[in-house]
Structure 1
Amino acid sequence: MSKLVAFAAIQGGYKVVSSTEGLYRKAMATYNADTKIGFPNTAYYLPVIYSLTGMKVETLEDLKKPLEFARGLLPPHIKGKHHLPYLGPLLDAGMASIFCYEIMEALRILEQPDFYIPEEDPDIEAGKLWVGPADDTILRKRGVEFVDGSAPGFAAMVGAAPNKEIAKDIVEEYQRRSLYIFCAASHNGTTLIEQLLDAGVQIGWNTRIVPFGPDISSAVFALGFANRAAMAFGGVKPGDYKKILLYNKDRIFAFVNALGDVGTEWGVAAAGCVNWGFPTLADTDIPEILPTGICTYEHVVANVSHEEMCQRSVEVRGLKTIVSDIEIPCAFGPAYEGERVRGADLYAQCGGGKTQCTELVKMAEMNEIEDGKVIVDGPDVGDLKEGDTFPMGIFIQVAGREMQPDFEPILERQIHHLINYIQGIMHIGQRDISWVRISKAAIEKGFTLKDIGVVLHAKFHQDFGKILDKVQVTLMTKKEDVEKLTAKARAEYKTRDERVEKMTDEDVEIFYSCTLCQSFAPNHVCSVSPERTGLCGAYNWMDCKASYEINPTGPNQPIEKGECIDPVLGQWKGVNDFVYKASRGAVTHYNFYSMVIDPMTTCGCCECIAAMLPSCNGVMTVNRDYAGETPCGMKFTTLAGVMGGGASSPGFVGHSKFNITQKKFIKGDGGLKRMVWMPKILKEEIKERLDRFGEENGIPGFYDMIADETVGITEEEILPYLQEKGHPALSMDPLIG
């Protein structure tokens, strides 16, 4: 490691700390010391500072302590001909700068509260390009993708490419590898984000190209996201800096790409990222830091060509990514799933209430279908004019020695994601309410309906090769054919739904585990039964059964129920034995049907969290999409932070949306009749099932009896409403006692 590296990084650290101290003095002279400060809608205060030191910055005065801490981290200046060729002083200078960059951004938000747009997507028409720090709702939603592996890591890109074509090429290569791209800083008067917009690339969380901010200080939002993931999903406690940094090195596969001239402020930021195990690769001739030390391989690598930037970055980080080699004219990958096809971009569409669009997967005999055959029966997009609508039926026939009819809905559910993975194609809905929008850009590249079949064939084999030997796809675009398929499909849907709905926990001797989230919450073991769907909402009992048969060594393992210890609370000896072993002794037992007495453990991926409301003798639940306050005094994000790291927390429990109306939902505590509050958005989503519950249980108008935020967000506010409506919870036995 050269003296030049150490000198530049340490000088950069002194410069950043001094600049931040000046900004702080100015703020103290302008505002009161007790002025509130922080990042919007997060329970993690200033997340880098909070996670590494445990310091809770809530007011302007609170910034003084971490700022002094940063000053104390600065090592002596490099003097004379000799220096100590160790990473330690650089890492300290880098960490000091990272703390200060976070303070700078907090001061920016105080002084310019509208600088960032706190949404998943920027408002480009209004000139609002920068989304700033992710709030906790986005963290929970996007963090799940780092749990299940659909997002293998992220590239933090600072600066700008020489031109928009190079910028587009590099970013799209990362998208093809399913990485997130976190963008910050500018070079030569422009930013990577502005180059991408000029090249017609959609940006925002939904396309995994996240425009954090225009300055190098906004790169700190990427590190804050990583540290919050460690706390939210891994259960690492604030202030445990060693675990936080090791967690990021071992589990959050990230790296930095520096595009443009690397000055002292960029250099010290790169040194700061090394603390996390995140290496920096630059396209310029800068001093390198090569093995060994903190990162898995090299720490700082120079002169990386733009053509090699992506491949070299994943190699240096030690990251394994898969690029799906599917022969279609459009790019393909999970990064395009959130891409929108808006009105100005639209060429043609089907479904969405304008025409019928139906999807069906059916098992066939081996000799009935031809593997890889894609049939387009009817007009293709080449026969359409811009703005046209058309009907479509997607009929997939599959055959295999290990294939079972139970697997049909699991395969069918993949259609939504896989079509969305095609760049320029947007898919919404499932079953017989699907909607496909095709962009002009896709048509210009040569997209045809056959490409949908090519994708479905390739990915079904890639993801479900153990059970499938043959996949044949038929795409129908004649109205009469689509109507016939729709009638057939609706009969199939009805049969499937009735079978799953009628299953009870008593019908089976085997439950299934799901340990996907253990990579983030090591003690969490999700047990899935017919009447207790997975907390994330993505897995029901049938899904887990299919998953196990497809992959016997995967995350969904069979659990023999064994002796029933408590049928009311839902506890079995076999489940307890499995949970004890799978949690490495951290959890000895839990109950399926109670949130009051030893409830199931909860991870950060749950769709909803229920909590007791003692004054109302009932319970509430809140879904992750609701960002407001709740009657238990905590937002979803706070609840998830308190009990979402794999703990069993009496009085709280995570669950799926569907589980709310399953018959054994908190049966041991009185069941769904206890539900007194939930967000309006959730209540409306499950209205039909709530109405059915009320009819079946002699509680007419039960939907209207449940309060929401329009009634109140405290127990005191909602209690009169519950009394007025005659809510059944008020006349039930005490919830506690």
Structure 2
Amino acid sequence: MSKLVAFAAIQGGYKVVSQVEGEYKKALETFDASTKVSFGNTAYYLPVIYSLLGIKVETLEDLKKPLEFARGLLPPHVKGKNHLPYLGPLLDAGMAAIFAYEIKEALRILNEPDFYSFTEDPDVESGSIWLGPADDTILRKRGVEFVDGSAPGFAAIVGAAPTPEIARDIVEDYQKKSLYIFCAANHNNTSVIQQLVDQDVQVGWNTRIVPFGPDISSAVFALGFANRAAMAFGGVQPGDHRKMLMYNKERIFAFVNALGDVGTEWGVAAAGCVNWGFPTLADTDIPEILPTGICTYEHVVANVPHEELCQKSVEVRGLKVTVSDINIPCSFGPAYEGERVRGADLHSQMGGGKTQCTELVKRAEMNEIEDGKVIVVGKDIADLNEGDTLPLGIFIQIAGREFQEDFEPIMERQIHHLVNYIQGIMHIGQRDISWVRVSKAAVDKGFTLKDIGVVLHAKFHQEFQKIVDKVQITLYTEKEDVAKLTATARAEYKTRDERVDKMTDEDVEIFYSCSLCQSFAPNHVCSVSPERTGLCGAYNWMDCRAAYEINPTGPNQPIEKGECLDPVLGQWKGVNEFVEKASRGAVTHYNFYSMVIDPMTTCGCCECIAAMLPSCNGVMTVNREFAGDTPSGMKFTTLAGVMGGGASSPGFVGHSKYNITQRKFIKGDGGLLRMVWMPKMLKEEIKDRLDQYGKENGYPDFYNMIADETVGTTEEEILPFLQEKGHPAMSMDSLIG
């Protein structure tokens, strides 16, 4: 490590801290010291400062302590001819700059509250392209992808490429590897984000190309996202700086790409990222730091050719990615799942209320189908003019020696994700309410409907090879053919729903575990039974059984439930033994049907969180999409922060949306009739099932008895409503004994 590296980084640290001290002084002269300071809808305050120092920054006055801490971290200036090649002073200078950058961004938001949009997608037409720090709703939504491996890591790109075309090629390389791309800073009066926008590339969380901000200080949002993931999903406590940094090194696979001239401010930011184990790779001739120790391999690598930047970054970080080579004219991968096909980009579409679009998967005998055969019956995309619509029926036949009818809906559900993975194609919905939109760009590349079949055939073989031997796909586009398939499909849907709804926990001797989230929440063990779906909403009992059939050593393992220790609370000896072993002794037992007594552990991926409302003798639940206040006194983000990370928290429990109306939902606490409040958006989403539950349990108007935010967001506000409606919880035994 050269003297020049140390000099530049340390000088950069002094420069950044001094600048921010000046901005802070000016803010104190402009605003009262008690003025609120925050990053918006988050329970993690200023997340880097909170996670590493344990300091809760809520006011302008609160910024003083971390800023003083940053100043105290700055090492002595480099002097003399010799410099000992120790990383320590550089890391300290880098960390000081990172703290200062986060304070700088907090002051920017205070001074210019409309500078960032704080949304998932930028408003490109208005010129508002910078999103700023992600709120906790986005963190929870996107964190699941880092947990289940569909997003193996992220590339933080600062600066701008020499040409817009090079910027696009670099970003597309990362998208093909399913990585997120977090962008900040500019070079030569432009940025990678602006270069992409100028080429009509969609940016935002939905395409995994995230425009954090225009300055190098905005890169701190990427570090904040990583640290919040550690707290939300990994149970790392605020202030435990060593565990926080080690967690990031071992579990968050990220790196920095510096495109353009690396000055002292960029240099000290790179030194700061080394603390996290995140290396920096540059396209310019900068001094390198090549020894290993903190990052997986090198710390700073220079002169990386643009066409090699993606592969070299992945190699240096030690990241393992799986890239599927699908023979279609468009790029393919999870990075395109959130891509929109808007009106101006639209070539043609199927379904969405304009035509019928139906999907059906059926088991077939080996001799009935030909593997890899894709048939289009009727018109294809090439037969359409811009703006045309088509009906569409996707009929998939699967043969496999171990393929069962129970697996049909699981495979059917994959269609949504896999079709969305095609660049320029948007898929919404499932079953007989699907909607497919095809972009002009995809048609220009040569996309046809047959490519949908090619993708589904390849991916079903890749991801379900244990149970899939043959796949044949027929795509119908004639109205009569689609109508016929739809009638058949609806009969199948009805049969399936009745079969699943009729299953009970008593019907089976085997439950299944799901340890996908243990990569972020090491102590969390989710147990899935027929009447207790996975709390993330993505896995039910049949899904887990299928996953075990596919991968016997994977995250879904069979659990022999064994002796029933408590049929009301839902506790089994075999489950307890499995949970204790899988959590490495952190959790010895839990109950499936109670949120009051030893409830199941919860991680940050849960769709909803239920909480006791003692004054109302009932419970509430809130879904993660709801950002408002709740009668528990906490928003979803706060609730998740309190109980995420694999804890069993009496009085609270994470669960899926579907689980709400399953027969044994909090049965040990009185069941769903205890539910006194939930957000209106969630009520509407599950209205039909709530109505059915109410009729079956003697309360046909139960849906209207449940309060929502239009009634109130405190127990005092909703209690009169519950009493007026005669809510069943009002006459039940006390919830707290």
Structure 2 counterpart of 1:217: 217
Give the counterpart letter for 2:651 in structure 1: G
Separation in structure 1 between the aligned mates of residue 323 and residue 599 of structure 2, nearest angstrom: 41
Q: Does 1:69 align with 2:43?
A: no
CA deviation after TM superposition for structure 1 residue 292, in Å: 2.2
Give the counterpart letter for 1:694 in structure 2: G
Per-residue CA deviation, residues 664-691 of structure 1 (Å, 9 max, x unaligned), is 0000100001000000000000001111
Please list, as runs of the form range in 1=range in 2, the aligned pairs for 1:714-733 lying within 5 A after superposition. 714-733=714-733
Give the counterpart letter for 1:329 in structure 2: P
Give the counterpart letter for 1:325 in structure 2: D
Q: Does 1:292 align with 2:292?
A: yes
Give the counterpart letter for 1:523 in structure 2: N
Q: Does 1:89 align with 2:89?
A: yes
Structure 2 counterpart of 1:696: 696
Give the counterpart letter for 1:82 in structure 2: N
Q: Does 1:309 align with 2:287?
A: no
CA deviation after TM superposition for structure 1 residue 371, in Å: 0.9
Please list, as runs of the form range in 1=range in 2, the aligned pairs for 1:189-228 lying within 5 A after superposition. 189-228=189-228
Structure 2 counterpart of 1:436: 436
Indicate conservation of the 8 Å contact 1:154/1:181, yes or no: yes
CA deviation after TM superposition for structure 1 residue 546, in Å: 1.0
CA deviation after TM superposition for structure 1 residue 367, in Å: 1.2
CA deviation after TM superposition for structure 1 residue 504, in Å: 0.6
Give the counterpart letter for 2:463 in structure 1: D
Structure 2 counterpart of 1:379: 379
Per-residue CA deviation, residues 556-614 of structure 1 (Å, 9 max, x unaligned), is 11111111111111111111111111111111111111100111111110000000000
Deviates most, 335-344 or 292-301: 292-301
DSSP 3-state at the match of 1:307: helix
Give the counterpart letter for 2:544 in structure 1: C
Per-residue CA deviation, residues 286-328 of structure 1 (Å, 9 max, x unaligned), is 0000022211100000000101010000000001112210111
Indicate conservation of the 8 Å contact 1:87/1:293, yes or no: no
CA deviation after TM superposition for structure 1 residue 247, in Å: 0.5
Give the counterpart letter for 1:225 in structure 2: F
Per-residue CA deviation, residues 337-373 of structure 1 (Å, 9 max, x unaligned), is 0000001110000101110100011111111111111
DSSP 3-state at the match of 2:140: helix
Q: Does 1:553 align with 2:539?
A: no
DSSP 3-state at the match of 1:580: helix
CA deviation after TM superposition for structure 1 residue 700, in Å: 2.2
Separation in structure 1 between the aligned mates of residue 572 and residue 186 of structure 2, nearest angstrom: 59
Separation in structure 1 between the aligned mates of residue 472 and residue 419 of structure 2, nearest angstrom: 16
Separation in structure 2 between the aligned mates of residue 587 and residue 31 of structure 1, nearest angstrom: 48
Give the counterpart letter for 1:476 in structure 2: Y
Per-residue CA deviation, residues 177-202 of structure 1 (Å, 9 max, x unaligned), is 00000000000000110000111110
Structure 2 counterpart of 1:145: 145
Return the TM-score normalized by structure 1.
1.00
Structure 2 counterpart of 1:734: 734
Separation in structure 2 between the aligned mates of residue 437 and residue 205 of structure 1, nearest angstrom: 20
Please list, as runs of the form range in 1=range in 2, the aligned pairs for 1:38-437 lying within 5 A after superposition. 38-437=38-437
DSSP 3-state at the match of 2:125: coil
Please list, as runs of the form range in 1=range in 2, the aligned pairs for 1:523-602 lying within 5 A after superposition. 523-602=523-602
Per-residue CA deviation, residues 611-654 of structure 1 (Å, 9 max, x unaligned), is 00000000000000001110000010110110111111000000
CA deviation after TM superposition for structure 1 residue 713, in Å: 0.5
Separation in structure 2 between the aligned mates of residue 148 and residue 599 of structure 1, nearest angstrom: 24
Return the TM-score normalized by structure 2.
1.00
Per-residue CA deviation, residues 11-43 of structure 1 (Å, 9 max, x unaligned), is 000000000000000001111111110110100
Q: Does 1:449 align with 2:449?
A: yes
For structure 1, list consecutive stretches of 5 or more residues without a partner in the other structure.
Answer: none
Q: Does 1:670 align with 2:703?
A: no
Structure 2 counterpart of 1:493: 493
Separation in structure 1 between the aligned mates of residue 71 and residue 255 of structure 2, nearest angstrom: 26
CA deviation after TM superposition for structure 1 residue 155, in Å: 0.2
Structure 2 counterpart of 1:15: 15
Indicate conservation of the 8 Å contact 1:158/1:257, yes or no: yes
Give the counterpart letter for 1:400 in structure 2: G
Runs of 4+ aligned residues of structure 1 deviating over 3 Å after TM superposition are none
Separation in structure 1 between the aligned mates of residue 71 and residue 665 of structure 2, nearest angstrom: 53
Separation in structure 2 between the aligned mates of residue 515 and residue 295 of structure 1, nearest angstrom: 27
DSSP 3-state at the match of 1:673: helix
DSSP 3-state at the match of 1:426: strand
For structure 2, list consecutive stretches of 5 or more residues without a partner in the other structure.
Answer: none
Give the counterpart letter for 2:400 in structure 1: G
CA deviation after TM superposition for structure 1 residue 659, in Å: 0.5
CA deviation after TM superposition for structure 1 residue 280, in Å: 0.3
Per-residue CA deviation, residues 220-255 of structure 1 (Å, 9 max, x unaligned), is 000000000000000000011111001000100000
Separation in structure 1 between the aligned mates of residue 375 and residue 293 of structure 2, nearest angstrom: 56
Separation in structure 1 between the aligned mates of residue 189 and residue 551 of structure 2, nearest angstrom: 51
Separation in structure 2 between the aligned mates of residue 522 and residue 305 of structure 1, nearest angstrom: 38
CA deviation after TM superposition for structure 1 residue 495, in Å: 0.8
Separation in structure 2 between the aligned mates of residue 466 and residue 78 of structure 1, nearest angstrom: 61
Separation in structure 2 between the aligned mates of residue 440 and residue 45 of structure 1, nearest angstrom: 43
Separation in structure 1 between the aligned mates of residue 84 and residue 171 of structure 2, nearest angstrom: 38
DSSP 3-state at the match of 2:329: coil
Give the counterpart letter for 2:127 in structure 1: G
Per-residue CA deviation, residues 402-449 of structure 1 (Å, 9 max, x unaligned), is 211111111111000000000000000000100000000100011001
Separation in structure 1 between the aligned mates of residue 715 and residue 126 of structure 2, nearest angstrom: 40
Give the counterpart letter for 1:6 in structure 2: A
CA deviation after TM superposition for structure 1 residue 142, in Å: 0.4
DSSP 3-state at the match of 2:138: helix
Cα RMSD (Å): 0.6
Give the counterpart letter for 2:598 in structure 1: D
Separation in structure 1 between the aligned mates of residue 267 and residue 693 of structure 2, nearest angstrom: 61
Deviates most, 359-368 or 264-273: 359-368
Separation in structure 1 between the aligned mates of residue 112 and residue 97 of structure 2, nearest angstrom: 22
CA deviation after TM superposition for structure 1 residue 70, in Å: 0.3
Separation in structure 1 between the aligned mates of residue 124 and residue 213 of structure 2, nearest angstrom: 14
DSSP 3-state at the match of 2:632: coil
Separation in structure 1 between the aligned mates of residue 538 and residue 373 of structure 2, nearest angstrom: 30
Separation in structure 2 between the aligned mates of residue 523 and residue 358 of structure 1, nearest angstrom: 41
CA deviation after TM superposition for structure 1 residue 549, in Å: 1.1
Aligned pairs, how many? 737
DSSP 3-state at the match of 2:468: coil
Structure 2 counterpart of 1:638: 638
Percent of counterpart pairs with the same letter? 85
